[in-house]
Amino acid sequence: MSISTSTLGYPRIGKNREVKKALESFWQQKISADELLKTVREIEETSWQTQAKAGIKRIGIGDATLYDQILDWSYRFGIIPKRFQQFQNLECYFAMARGKDGILALEMTKWFDTNYHYLVPEITPDITPKADFSDFLETVKRAKKIIGESAVPIIISPVTFLRLSRLESVEFDKILAQLLPLYSELLTQLKQLGISEIQLHEPALVFGDAPNLRKQLETTYTELAKVGLNIHLVTYFDDLGETYPWVMKLPVKSISLDLTRGKNLELIKSHGFPADKTLGAGVVDARNIWRIRPQKVVSLLEELKGIVPNISVQPSASLQFVPYDVKREVKLPEALRNVLSFAEQKLEETVLLSKALTGESSKSEIEKIEIYWQEF
């Protein structure tokens, strides 16, 4: 039996909104691009250190962004509509994000059913994907220096990327065939840096039309598995539905499931879970601000333990959806503050639950949280 802990992303803006302030200063030409990037990196590195200090074993890295994570991957793959190609570097990036000189920005739409948004990639026949992973590889190098083997790069899967894109007179399969060698190149470069595991985020699997993507998903994971990295396939926001049986057969090392929404637990109990894979058990709700009810969640994990040999306890999605730290809320009544859980508290809960499974956490630690709820 193997029990571990993972994260799938972390708040990016800074505890004092440093990134937002730096962005606004950059747009007003009060600071340089180097100063902006320095701020983003400092917040990113602090987040890695916070997660490591909390005891998280596998820390998702590379999700920090100047504006939007999907836009980042559009830019890295050279998927830049013609109207923006007159600009270079950050000027091009922010023109895509915000528009410039009367040129319309990319369309912004909701990120699944959250209150966050993303910029929709536009792929037209005149665009041929190309790769520039320099910024991402630099991030990985920094992470390895700071948190070592705990660093697990977060990458948006090509299937989810295309499912979220606007394809204008181009075929999904044709663009996927152009993207896959670039993804293989990226994974190869990560392997050369000493990375052993990556997270491929595949939230498109919770869409109603996900069964229609079976061929593309099987092709993608078969191809990327050839590189030889451990692939952690990450889903969130809902259950896998009818795709569950064949997703379990994809050539990946780990599969993350959101156990706070949908019917993934019922699917596991009905179909089982592969003995050669690790279940990323998303039992700490990443999208609310409340503490776990530990007895309920421990009971769920004990049930999983009887079915699944290898478990990674983790938040249900990226923690970007919650504030940083409840301890900063000094004006709240104590009873309320005790039942709130922001990013740092959710890290603590993740580690506590993993220790509960291995018998390392004391009964009093679990009971303490239950008492908070009774007093609320």
Per-residue pLDDT of the chain (376 residues; tens, 9 = 90+): 789 999 999 999 999 999 999 999 999 999 999 999 999 999 999 999 999 999 999 999 999 999 999 999 999 999 999 999 999 999 999 999 999 999 999 999 999 999 999 999 999 999 999 999 999 999 999 999 999 999 999 999 999 999 999 999 999 999 999 999 999 999 999 999 999 999 999 999 999 999 999 999 999 999 999 999 999 999 999 999 999 999 999 999 999 999 999 999 999 999 999 999 999 999 999 999 999 998 899 999 999 999 999 999 999 999 999 999 999 999 999 999 999 999 999 999 999 999 999 888 767 888 889 888 998 8
The predicted structure's pLDDT at residue 74: 98
Detail the DSSP E strand segments found in the chain. 2-5, 59-61, 108-110, 117-119, 122-123, 151-156, 166-167, 197-201, 230-234, 254-258, 278-284, 310-315
pTM for the model: 0.96
pLDDT at residue 376, rounded to an integer: 85
34-38's contacts with Cβ under 8 Å and 24+ in sequence apart are: 36/66
pLDDT of residue 135: 97
Residues with Cβ < 8 Å from 181, sequence gap 6 or more? none
DSSP state, 77? T
- How far is 313 from 347, CA to CA, in rounded Å? 10
* Cα–Cα distance measured from residue 58 to residue 75, given in angstroms and rounded to the nearest whole number: 27
The residue whose two tokens read 């190098």 is: 141
Q: How far apart are CA 184 and CA 246, in angstroms?
A: 23
> What domains can you pick out in the chain, each with its CATH number?
2-9+53-62+112-375 (3.20.20.210)
